[in-house]
Every structure is written in C-alpha cells, then in structure tokens.
Amino acid sequence: MPPSLPSTPAFERATIVLPVVTETAALDETVRRLLATSDADIAELLIVVCDRTTPESLARCRGIEDRVGARVRIHHQHLPFLGGALREAFDLATGSHLVMMASDLETDPATVPDLIEVARRRPEAVVTASRWAAGGSFSDYGLVRVGLNWVFQRMASAIYRTSLTDATYGYRLFPTALVQSIRWEGLRHELLLESVLKPLRLGVEVIEVPTVWAAREEGESQNSLSTQARYVGTLV
C-alpha cells in the first residue's frame, strides 16, 4: 500500500453492501447464499434503500432484519442513484473490508469466499470479480452487449496499462479504510468503474478472481445502455 494511504494489516470481517430497489426473492436468495457460505466472515449486511424502493422490496428487507438480527442494517440513502447509495455505504461500513455487490443475483454470492480468500493473503488489495478472467463467463448477456463490453474492457486496460479484464463489473472487495479515504465523484453506475480506476491511480494492488454472470430473473435493471455510456467520461 502506498505510504500516503491508510493501512489495513489483516482481513477480519466484511460489510456486505446490498442496494435494493425492486428485488424480492432474489434478495432473499442472495442473503441465504451469503450466510450459507460466508456467515463467519460477515460483520454486517448493509442494505441500502431509496425513495424508489418498492413496498414489496422493503418488506423483504424487514424480513431479513427480523431473521438475521443485529447484523442487518437498513439505510435509506440521501444521495441519488446507485453511486450515491454506494458512496454512503462506504462511509457507514464497519467491517475491516467491504464487499460491493448486487441484490439481484447478477453478482454470484458463491464468489464471496473467493474474494475473502484473496483478502486474507493480501488485505490491502482491492479484490475484484471478473467475468472475463479464465474460469469466468456470461449467461444471457446478449452477443452485442458482450462484444461492446469486451471492446470497452480492452480500452480500459490499454489506457491504464493494466492487465485487468473487467473494470466495469460492480462486484469487489475493498479495505474499508481505503474507500473511506478516497473522494468519490460518480452518482450513477459510473461509480462502479471509478471504484477500480481511482485505486489504480493511487498505486493500490488490484487482484481479479473469476466469476459467472447470469441475468437477473426478476425486477428491472437500473443499468441501461444510456447509463453505461457515462462510463466513457469516467474512463477518460
């Protein structure tokens, strides 16, 4: 870790950040799988809701709080959009590390133990899931989107002279002290890209682990093509 950044000497337990808008059964299944595979390594489940979170989703959040207990914290965000939700969660996290993921099963909870395993060895690194790394894959993403994603990833790796293969995928583990020391700017999905580019610029080690992406089966994605176009401004 560069000397100007806060040190994180060891992985202890993680805050899991779960933004929720329309997710119901997928949210429940995400939490079930997280607790089945990583219960002892989870300090808290930080569920972030907003004005647009549906009553059905809020009810699921309360149900999780009732079942799991004090480790569940439901936070109503003040900053707008996904980036705002994540920025507030970064500041609220209490674990030694923080996992940024989705609540719609497009970020496979089975990858969390892999992220944590790397963090135990390299506690000051950012550990990021990759759909393009060997062993990773896409399911039902669409050929055009896969092609555009591949082109963008190659652009990102060329501009930043990095071997990273999946800069836009919002599935990462960070040292909490690191994310709390960085001035974040994005308010929409571009924060997902910013969350790896700023650590790279600061000289932080970023390590990839493979993961499998599968399309959500419920609710409405908030990551439209117009939203994804904002990545270009963040990249350059």
From CA 189, how far away is CA 121, in angstroms rounded? Answer: 29
Looking at residue 54, what is its pLDDT?
98
Statement: residue 58 has pLDDT above 70: yes
pTM: 0.92
Q: How many CA atoms lie within 13 A of 199 on its CB side?
A: 27
Please report the pLDDT score of residue 160 as a whole number.
87
What amino acid is encoded at 77 in this protein? Q
User: Can you read off the two tokens belonging to residue 233?
Assistant: 């401004």
CA angle 208, 41, 169 (to 5 degrees): 30
Q: How many CA atoms lie within 13 A of 122 on its CB side?
A: 15
pLDDT bracket for residue 40 (50, 70, 90): very high
3-state secondary structure of 167: coil
Q: Residue 16 — φ and ψ, nearest 5°?
A: -100, 120
Task: Report residue 24: phi and psi, to 5°.
Answer: -130, -85
- The pLDDT score that the predictor gives to residue 14 is 99
Helix axes 112-121, 25-38, angle to 10 degrees: 40
50 against 221, higher pLDDT: 50
Q: What is the residue whose two structure tokens read 């993680």?
A: 14
Query: Buried b / exposed e across 16-31, counting CB within 10 Å, b at 16+?
Result: bbbbbbbbbebbbbbb
Q: Which residues pair with 131 in a beta bridge?
A: none
User: Who contacts 220 (Cβ-Cβ below 8 Å, separation ≥6)?
Assistant: 21, 22
Domains and CATH numbers, the chain: 14-235 (3.90.550.10)
Question: Is 229's pLDDT higher than 60?
Answer: no
Over residues 202-215, the mean pLDDT reads 96
